[in-house]
A and B are shown apart, each in its own frame.
Chain A
Amino acid sequence: MPNEVLAKEKIKAAADLCAEAGQALDRYELFKTTRDGVKGKVPAAATVIDPQILVINNDLVEAEKKAKKREFEPATALLDQIAQKCLDAAAIKTASDKYEARLLLVKPPIDGLTGTSPRNTDATIGTDIEKTDEALKKATDEAAKTPTTLAQFETALKNLEEADVRCKAATAKKTMQGNTVPSEADLKKIMDGPGGAKLLDEIVAGLGTGANREVLYAVMKVRFKLEMAQSFEPDTNTAEPGATPDADLSVAKIYELMTKVPESHVKDNPSFRRIKRRPGTAQKGSYYADSEGEVVLGEGRPDTSSDYRLGEPTELDAIDPNCVCKGGTKPKFFNWNTLHEVGHAVDDKKGFMKKNEDNADYGGWRSHGGDVTVVAKAAEGKFSGITPDMIAKYLSEGTEPGLITRMTQDWTKCKTWCDGIRHGQDPWSNGAASGKTIENGGFKIGDRIYHEAYANDWYSYLASARSKGVTGYQFRAPGEWFCELYAAFGTGKMNDNHPARVWLKKIFKVT
C-alpha cells in the first residue's frame, strides 16, 4: 500500500529543492552579470598599477569561489570593493600619466639650465639650479615609490610644478642679471606658480640695490600690480643744474618695503574701496595752506653743522679774560640752539631768572614791560633840553618834539639813542655802543643799559655784565642771558673761571 503521506512529503521536499535551486541559479546569474560589469572596469595592464591589478584579479577569483559556494552576499560585497579598487587604480594611472606628461615637458628646460658641471656651481644661478634639481628629485623619488598611490602622484606633481617654477625663476634671474627685462608672461607664470611671490622676492633680493630699474619695474608690475615706470623716473626735462635734488628713491628698496606690507591690509580690504581721491587744485581743502610760490634755500645762512660764533668782538666789548670761552673745536650751530631752547624750558620750570631779578650775580636784570617812562626817566638830564616826557612819547608813539626843540636842543643825539635801543636794531649785539656812555653816543646810563628786547617789552641790565658775556644775544633779555650761558656750559665751552659756573654746576648737578 503506497504511503501517500510519505510520498507527498517527498514531492514537497523535491519541489522545495527545485525552487531553492532555481533561486540559487537566479542569484548566481545576477552575480555573474555584476562580476562581468566589474571586470569591464579593470584598468588595462600598466606597470604603474600592476600590483593593484593583481589584487583585483585575486579578489575576482575569491568572489567567484564565494558565489559558487552560494555565499552570494559576501561575494557581492567583494565585487563592490573590487569596483572601488578598479576606480582607484584607474585614478592612479591617470595621475601617473599626467605626471609623466608634465615631466616630459618640465625636465628638458631644467636639464638645459646650465652646461656647468657640477650644475650647482653655475656662477649666476648655481643655488637656484640646486633648489630646482632638489624639487625635481623630490618629484621623481615620490613618483617611483611602490606600491603606488594616488596621493604620491599628487605630491610628485606638486614637486614637479615647484621645479618648473624654480626653473622659470632661475631663467628669469639669469635674464634680469643680464639687465634684460623678462617677459610679463614669464613673470606671471612664476607669480602664479606655487610659492611664486616668494620666489620673485628672492630673485629681486639677489639682484641687490643696484638692480636695473626697468627690470624692477617689470617685476613690480606683476608682483604688486604697481605701475612705476611712468611715475618714477626723475623728470630730466625740468631738472636744472644746481636745482634742489629730489629724494633719491631706490626702486629696490621700495620693492623690499612692499614685500613687508601684510596682505591683510591691502588685498580685498573693504576700507580700500572707501578711499576717495580728488585730484587737482580745485579740490584743495581749507586745511591745506596755499603754497603760493617757491620754497627757497637759505643760501648763506648759518648752516646747522657750522660753528657757533662765541665772544665776537663786534658784539662784546672787552671780555674779562676769565670769561673768554674756551678755544678748540667750536660748538655746532644746531647743538647750541638746541641747548639754548632747552635752557628756556629749564629756566621756566625753575623760575630761575624771575627769582634772581635785579641780582648783580645774574646780570642785574630788571623787567620794565611796556612802561617806557622808566627808560625815559633813566635818560633824564642826559640830553640837553630833552625831557623824559619827550623821550617817552617818542619811544611809545614815535612822536618827535616840536621843531624848535628838535633844532635847538640835543634831540638828534637823543633820537639816535632811542632808535638804537629798539629791538629791530639788535642793540644787545652792538658791542661798540654798549661800551660807551649815553653822553658819548653809547647805551650806558650810569651802570645800566636799557633796551627794547621784544616789541613793546623793555628791560635793563648791568653794563658790567657784558664783560662776562659769551655772546651778544645773551644780553637781549634775562631768559636769553640764562640760555646762552646754559648752552656755553652744556657744550663745554665755558671758561673754567667764569663766575656763572658756580650756579650752573648746581643746575647741571656736577662738581
Chain B
Amino acid sequence: MSRFFPLEIKCPACQEPIKFNANASVNADRRPDFRDAIIAGSFQRTSCPKCAAAFRLDPELNYLDVGRGQWIAVYPYAKINDWQLLEADSREAFDLAYGAQASEGAQEIGRDLKPRLVFGWSALREKLVVLEKGLDDVELELLKMALLRGMEDPPLKVGHELRFVDLDAETGELVFVVLVSKTEDFVEELRVPRELYDEIAADQEGWRELRQELQGSYFVDMLKLMIATPAGASK
C-alpha cells in the first residue's frame, strides 16, 4: 500500500528525539496523494514539537506507479557516491520483482515500467515532473550537459544540482532550478527555450555516445558521468 516504519529521529536543531513514520515504499496507484505530496515537497516533512524547526527525512524507498510506468529506487543524497553499488542492488530488486522469476502478472506489469535510480527528494520529484510534462529524462540530462558546456559561468558547483521543475505552459520554456543538494535550498532559476531540448532530442548522431551512456542505466542523471569512480567499482 505504501509502507512506513516507526523511527526515532533527532531534531536537527535542538536534538530532541522525535517519533517519525519513515516511508519505505510509495505505491502511487493506490496513494496518489503521496505522489502529489512528493511533487509539492511536503512528503516526509515535519517539524519539531519542541522547537518547531522544520525538517525532512531523507528518502530511502521504492516508488511504484504502474499507471504511469514508473518504478524508482530512491536513496538519500548522502549515498550518491555509491551509485554503482546501489544500481546493482536496484537491478537485483527489480529483476526479482518483475524479471524472469517473477509471477506472470508481475512480468507483464514490469514490461511497461521504466526502472530508475535517484538520490534525494529533488531528483525523485524531477522524474515525476519530467514524465508528467511529456519529456524524456535521458534527453533532459543531455540538455543539462549542453547547458554546462555551453553557458558562460555555468551552474556547476560542488554540492549543487540542476533540477528540472516545470514546463512553462505560456512560453514553453523548461524551468530548472539550481539547488543545494544537501538542503534543497534554492540558489537560482534557469529558463531554457524548448527549442534547445527539441534540437538535442532530434540530433541522434551528435549525442549518440552520451545518450548511450545514460540509456540502459537505472541512474539516468548527468551526475553519474561526473562522480569519481570508486576504486574497484566497475563502470
Contact = CB atoms under 8 A, between A and B. Distances in A.
Interface of A: 209, 224-228, 231-235, 244-250, 253-254, 256-258, 260-262, 264-267, 269, 271-272, 274-281, 283-285, 287-305, 332-335, 337-342, 344-346, 348-350, 454, 473, 476-477, 479-480, 486, 490-491, 507-509
A247 B227 CA distance: 7
Main secondary structure of the interface of B (DSSP, over half): mixed
Given A250-B227, A480-B1, A305 B89 contact: yes
A477 B120 CA distance: 31
A480 B192 CA distance: 45
A236 B229 CA distance: 22
A298 B41 contact: no
Interface of B: 1-3, 5, 7-10, 12, 20, 22, 24-25, 27, 29-30, 39-42, 45, 47, 53-58, 60-62, 64, 66, 73, 75-78, 80-81, 89-90, 92-94, 96-98, 101-106, 108-110, 120-121, 145-159, 165-166, 173, 175, 177, 179, 181-193, 195-196, 199-200, 203, 206-207, 209-210, 222-223, 225-229
Contacts of B199: 265, 269, 271
B96 A304 contact: no
Given A231-B157, A247-B227, A334-B89, A298 B57 contact: yes
Given A274-B193, A293-B56, A253 B226 contact: yes
A225 B153 CA distance: 9
A257 B152 CA distance: 17
Given A272-B196, A296-B10, 11 more contacts: A209-B229, A231-B157, A232-B157, A244-B76, A245-B81, A262-B203, A334-B73, A335-B96, A340-B3, A490-B97, A509-B104
B159 A246 contact: yes
Contacts of B181: 246-247
B96 A291 contact: no
Contacts of B9: 296, 298-300
Contacts of A276: 173, 189-191
Contacts of A292: 45, 54
B150 A262 contact: no
A302 B4 CA distance: 10
A283 B58 contact: no
Contact of A344 (B1, B45, B120): B1
A474 B20 CA distance: 21
A427 B27 CA distance: 22
A228 B148 CA distance: 11
Given A266-B150, A285-B175, A293 B53 contact: yes
Nearest to B200: A265
A280 B102 CA distance: 49
A288 B200 CA distance: 26
Contacts of A254: 156, 226
B81 A248 contact: yes
A247 B81 contact: yes
A287 to B, nearest CB: 4
Nearest to B155: A277
A274 B194 CA distance: 10
A295 B175 contact: no
Nearest to A255: B226
B227 A345 contact: no
A294 B228 contact: no
B62 A334 contact: yes
B188 A265 contact: no
